[in-house]
Amino acid sequence: TQLLEQSPQFLSIQEGENLTVYCNSSSVFSSLQWYRQEPGEGPVLLVTVVTGGEVKKLKRLTFQFGDARKDSSLHITAAQPGDTGLYLCAGAAIRGSQGNLIFGKGTKLSVKP
Amino acid sequence: ETGVTQTPRHLVMGMTNKKSLKCEQHLGHNAMYWYKQSAKKPLELMFVYSLEERVENNSVPSRFSPECPNSSHLFLHLHTLQPEDSALYLCASSWGLAGGGETQYFGPGTRLLVL
Best probe of the A interface among B104, B110, B111, by most A CBs < 10 A, is B104
What are the beta bridge partners of residue A89?
Answer: A34
Distance from CA of A11 to the nearest CA of B (A): 15
| Residues A107 and A11 sit within 8 Å (Cβ to Cβ) | yes
Task: Judge whether A94 is closer than 8 Å to chain B, CB to CB.
Answer: no
Pick from A58, A59, A1: which is nearest to A33 by CA?
A58
Kindly tell me if the per-residue pLDDT of A8 is higher than 80: yes
Nearest by CB to residue A42, choosing from B2, B42, B99, is B2
Percentage of chain A with pLDDT > 70? 93
| Residues A28 and A70 sit within 8 Å (Cβ to Cβ) | yes
For every residue of B16-77, DSSP letters joined together read T-EEEEEEEE-S--SEEEEEEE-TTS--EEEEEEETTEEEEE-S--TTEEEEEEETTEEEEE
Q: What is the pLDDT of residues B1-33, one digit of tens each?
A: 459 999 999 999 998 889 999 999 999 999 999
Q: What is the pLDDT of residues B54-84, one digit of tens each?
A: 887 778 999 999 999 999 999 999 999 999 9
Pairing of strands B110-114, B105-106: unpaired
CB contact under 8 A, B105 and A100: no
Pick from B57, B33, B44: which is nearest to B85 by CA?
B44
State the Cα–Cα distance between residues B73 and B75, nearest whole angstrom: 7
State the Cα–Cα distance between residues B5 and A65, nearest whole angstrom: 32
Distance from CA of B34 to the nearest CA of A (A): 11
